[in-house]
Structure formats: structure tokens, C-alpha cells
Amino acid sequence: MKQDFLGLNCILIDNLDKPGGQCAELYPEKPIYDIPGVPMQTGQQHIDALLEQIKPFDYELHLNQRVEHINESLINELIHGRLLLLIIMSLIQKMYL
């Protein structure tokens, strides 16, 4: 049974045709040594682990799309309690590369 986390909605957006962004596309074999609790993972192993971790949760996946901006209407929705969490994996990956 899929579930949400504390009532939050998640949308996973990637500019590529597969999840993983820059990490999976440009550096799939590059070793990453600074992930807490993980001695070493390649870029692709890291993406695979992240996707496995979010399996129990209900989320939308939008591939071949790019976030250009977040408009004021969306910000107002966030402020008024309808939290929409945007995770852009290509930005997250920059922390590891």
C-alpha cells in the first residue's frame, strides 16, 4: 500500500528521460565517498538506492521536463497549507559531484 509522509505530496521532475539527472547521465560509474552510512557508491548505485527508498511513497514522476520557475500562485498554495514538495534530482546530485 502506497502512503504519503505527513500528508506531503511529492513530484519528482527530471529533465532527462530517466530519473537520476546529471549523476546518472554523466557520472554513472564515478565513485561517491561522502554519503553518510555508505562507504562507497557509484552515481548510478546512488540513484538506484534513492529510487528504492521512495518506493513505499506515492509520488508523481515527470520525465523530459524542466522547472523554469515557481510562480506566485504555487507559493500561495504552499503558504496556505497545501504543501507541494518539488524534488529536482539534478539539483540534488550536484551536492555529491
DSSP character string of 34-94: -BTTBS-EEHHHHHHHHHHHTTTB-EEEE-S-------HHHHHHHHTT--EEEEEHHHHHT
Average pLDDT over residues 4-30: 80
pLDDT in tens, 36-90: 899 999 999 999 999 998 888 878 888 998 877 777 776 666 555 444 444 444 4
Q: Are residues 83 and 6 in contact, defined by beta-carbon separation less than 8 angstroms?
A: no
Sequence letter at residue 68:
E
Domains in the chain with CATH codes: 9-93 (3.50.50.60)
pLDDT at 13: 82
pLDDT at 59: 81
Give the whole-angstrom CA distance, residue 73 versus residue 10: 17
Rounded to two decimals, the pTM is 0.66
84-88 vs 59-62, strand pairing mode: unpaired
pLDDT at 90: 44
pLDDT at 23: 83
